[in-house]
Amino acid sequence: MKKCEYCGKEISYHEQFCSDDCHIQSNKYYERSEKMARPFYFISTVCVIGIPVGLFLFSFLKLPGAVITAVSCAILGLMIILFPMPTEGMIKKSKIKKAVFKTRIFGVCVIALGFFALGLLSIFGL
C-alpha cells in the first residue's frame, strides 16, 4: 500500500494524502521550509563554526570560550526546534510528520549537549 506523504497512514494508490488536513499541513511545511531556508542555514553555519571556536578559545580564555560554546549549542538547538528541516531522505523514509518530530528531538539533544559541555567545562576548567 501507498502511504500518506504527511502522516504516513496507508492510503490507496490513487491518492497522495489521507485527508485535506494532511494536504494543508504538508503545503504549510514546504512553504515554511522554502521561506526559512536561507536564514536557517546561515545561522546554523555560524553556530556550527562557533562551537569549535569556543572550544579553541577555552584553552586560552576559560569563561568566554565556555560561554561561546554553550551559546552556540543553545542557538543551534533552538533553531532546529523552531524551524525543523529534516533531510529529503528522512522525509522519504518516515514521512514529514515523523521526520519533523525526530528533528526536534535532535534539537533538544543539541541544547542538552551544550549545557553538558558547559557543565563539564565549568567543573574541570574554570
Render pLDDT for 18-50 as a digit per residue (tens, 0 to 9).
889 999 999 999 999 999 999 999 999 999 999
CB-based contact 16:6 (threshold 8 Å):
no
Hunting for cell 551544550 — which residue is that?
Answer: 114
Residue 22: closest CA among 9, 32, 36, 37:
9
pTM: 0.84
pLDDT digits (tens, 9 = 90+) for 63-81: 788 888 889 999 999 999 9
Cell representation of residue 82:
523552531
